DNA sequence: ATTTTTATTTAGATTTGTCTAAATTATATT
DNA sequence: AATATAATTTAGACAAATCTAAATAAAAAT
């Protein structure tokens, strides 16, 4: 199965967003900074190639084959991130964009040699696990409360406080399971956090709230 | 100036083929394994971007800006070749295709770090000079008789024997200055060489002839 | 100086990936 | 249940890069 760069980026995005449930069109469009109509177009192609399951209006999920592809791309991405940090002295926050391009050079031999050269690392500079050559990947890292998270883009994966007051607040703000959050700023004086959710203006939440939102980096 | 991968490949091909004189459409098409009509299409675009000088039927040559671009791409290509051979233990004959892809990851910082990491090499695994960050490149390597050449694809750059018998033979075979030759096989028992010229079936030349054809790798 | 061959360009089409605007379907609210 | 809102898809368009077949120009051979 030979994929284009665009197809690889879609497959990887779907893998990243997929979490048990199906992935919806808008989430993929947001992740890839494209338009929902383009996602629908691509969904038809990827379905044709049997890399995703897709029925219109029903969301998208990877097939076994699609997942295999995704893991290969993720492996390449994370190994290149290791290379850039370990060998070329980049810092962990400047490697993602470069890896986003390097990941598309497809060569089993190149990647196995690179992995070996790096000492077959099992996690990338951001702590994310690196799939092995067979596509086996260790469980994704645990959840962290928002006030402890270091990454800029996060996904809400749970709440540590089940009080209806909190849940009401989150609901009103449009925060629910699976919601993607961009951290705009952290204010030291009161540990409040300015965040942004897709299609909404940024807003600030208190330390108390940020401690209650469990997130994972995506 | 932001180029697409296709544009970069054309610019590099033109640089490679340019040797004082202008480059013709068919040579570029052959080099890039595409069709002359496609070269004409691209020539119009690259002229629009002021990277080449081009008047129809008059051939193509790089502008100063185009040459600058070409040297950057060549630098990236050759540095990646060094990396693959020096660090990942590839042999010199398996790196070209990989470098052909890696060269399109554009990042000044990546390339300067890579160069530094490799000890700022000045020649690649094939003996070709690596342009520095400013695009300065040492003179291209000397000519070698065909029987001593190691590369698979060569360009005829002269003859060491001016006898009319030889020149007639070369003329009859379609071998002239600038002709590109692919070496198909070298026969040890009599040191004859089977070669192929674009648009012609392969044929074999004797050791005597191969000693007289001066070539450079391209 | 013609004729033949080779090189190059044009015309028109195709594929891929994208977009906007409008239409449709699903979900949430009243 | 009806209405409003959000998500998704369709229709139609576009740019990039390529191709084939036909037309034209340049170069070589006679
Ligand atoms: Mn990518
Ligand atoms: Mn990472
Ligand atoms: Mn290339
Ligand atoms: Mn080389």
Mutate to test the interface with A, among B76, B81, B85, B98 (most CBs of A within 10 A): B98
What distance, in Å, lies between the first and last C-alpha atoms of chain B?
26
SS3 (DSSP) at A44: helix
Is residue A82 scored above 70 in pLDDT?
yes
Q: Is residue A117 within 8 angstroms of chain B, CB to CB?
A: yes
With respect to residue A197, please indicate whether it lies within any of the assigned structural domains.
yes
Q: Is residue B134 within 8 angstroms of chain A, CB to CB?
A: no
- Put simply, the answer to whether B98 touches A84 (Cβ < 8 Å) is no
| Average pLDDT score over residue span A105-114 | 97
The whole-angstrom distance between B84's CA and the closest CA on chain A is: 8
Domain span including residue B46:
5-62
Last residue of some domain: B14, B42, B62?
B62
With respect to residue A126, please indicate whether it lies within any of the assigned structural domains.
no
| Average pLDDT score over residue span B103-115 | 98
The pLDDT of residue B177 is 73
Residues of B in contact with A80 (CB under 8 A): none
Which residue's entry shows tokens 């060489």? B193
Is residue A118 scored above 90 in pLDDT?
yes
With respect to residue B32, please indicate whether it lies within any of the assigned structural domains.
yes
Closest by CA position to A128, among listed A177, A89, A74: A74
Instruction: Please give the sequence-ordered ranges of beta strands (E in DSSP) within A26-167, or none if there are none.
Output: 52-54, 60-62, 144-145, 153-159
Q: Sign of the CA dihedral B187, B31, B161, B201?
A: positive
Last residue of some domain: B14, B46, B62?
B62
Considering every ligand atom shown, identify the ligand nearest to the alpha carbon of residue A93 and give its number.
Answer: 2
**Structural domains counted in chain B:** 2
Q: What is the pLDDT of residues B130-150, one digit of tens each?
A: 999 999 998 866 678 999 888
The whole-angstrom distance between B7's CA and the closest CA on chain A is: 17
Closest by CA position to A64, among listed A52, A75, A76: A52
With respect to residue B118, please indicate whether it lies within any of the assigned structural domains.
no
Highest mean pLDDT pick, A109-113, A151-155, A205-209, B167-171 = A109-113
- Bridge partners for B52 per DSSP: B62
Q: What is the pLDDT of residues B57-80, one digit of tens each?
A: 999 999 999 999 999 999 999 999
The pLDDT of residue B200 is 82
Residue A151 DSSP symbol? -
With respect to residue A34, please indicate whether it lies within any of the assigned structural domains.
yes
Residue B19 DSSP symbol? B
| Average pLDDT score over residue span A36-50 | 98
Statement: the CB of B44 is under 7 Å from strand D: no
Tell me the CATH number at B177. 2.30.30.90
Which of A79-83, B16-20, B56-60, B167-171 shows the lowest mean pLDDT across its residues?
B167-171
Which residue of A98, A107, A117 is in closest CB contact with B107?
Answer: A98
Which nucleotide is nearest, taking the CA of residue A26 and each C1'?
D7
Q: What is the pLDDT of residues A178-190, one digit of tens each?
A: 788 989 999 989 9
Instruction: Supply the mean pLDDT for chain B.
Output: 91
> Which nucleotides in chain C lie less than 7 Å from some protein C-beta?
7-12, 16-22, 25-26
With respect to residue B195, please indicate whether it lies within any of the assigned structural domains.
yes
The whole-angstrom distance between B113's CA and the closest CA on chain A is: 6
Q: How confident is the model at residue B126 (pLDDT cuts 50, 70, 90)?
A: confident
> Which nucleotides in chain D lie less than 7 Å from some protein C-beta?
7-12, 16-22, 25-26
Alpha carbon distance B157, B214 (integer Å): 6
The pLDDT of residue A42 is 98
Cα–chain center distance at A119? 25
Closest by CA position to A102, among listed B157, B103, B97: B103
The pLDDT of residue A140 is 67
Name the more confident of B104 and A139.
B104
With respect to residue B20, please indicate whether it lies within any of the assigned structural domains.
yes
Tell me the CATH number at B39. 1.10.10.10
Phi/psi at B106 (5° precision): -95, 110
Alpha carbon distance B106, B72 (integer Å): 9
With respect to residue A36, please indicate whether it lies within any of the assigned structural domains.
yes
């Amino acid at each position: 199965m030979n994929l284009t760069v665009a197809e690889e980026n879609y497959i990887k995005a779907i893998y990243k967003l997929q979490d048990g449930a199906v992935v919806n069109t808008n989430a993929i469009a947001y992740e890839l900074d494209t338009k929902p109509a383009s996602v629908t177009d691509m969904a038809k192609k990827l379905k044709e190639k049997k890399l995703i399951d897709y029925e219109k209006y029903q969301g998208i999920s990877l097939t076994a084959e699609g997942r295999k592809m995704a893991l290969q791309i993720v492996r390449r991405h994370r190994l290149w991130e290791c290379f850039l940090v370990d060998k070329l002295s980049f810092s962990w926050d400047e490697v993602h964009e470069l890896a986003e391009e390097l990941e598309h050079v497809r060569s089993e031999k190149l990647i196995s040699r690179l992995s070996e050269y790096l000492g077959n690392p099992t996690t990338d500079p951001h702590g994310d696990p690196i799939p092995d050559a067979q596509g086996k990947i260790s469980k994704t890292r645990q959840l962290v409360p928002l006030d402890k998270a270091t990454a800029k883009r996060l996904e809400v994966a749970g709440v540590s406080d089940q009080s209806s007051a909190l849940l009401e607040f989150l609901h009103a703000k449009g925060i629910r399971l699976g919601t993607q959050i961009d951290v705009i700023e952290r204010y030291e004086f009161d540990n409040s956090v300015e965040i942004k959710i897709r299609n909404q203006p940024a807003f600030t939440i208190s330390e108390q709230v940020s401690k209650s939102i469990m997130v994972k980096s995506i």
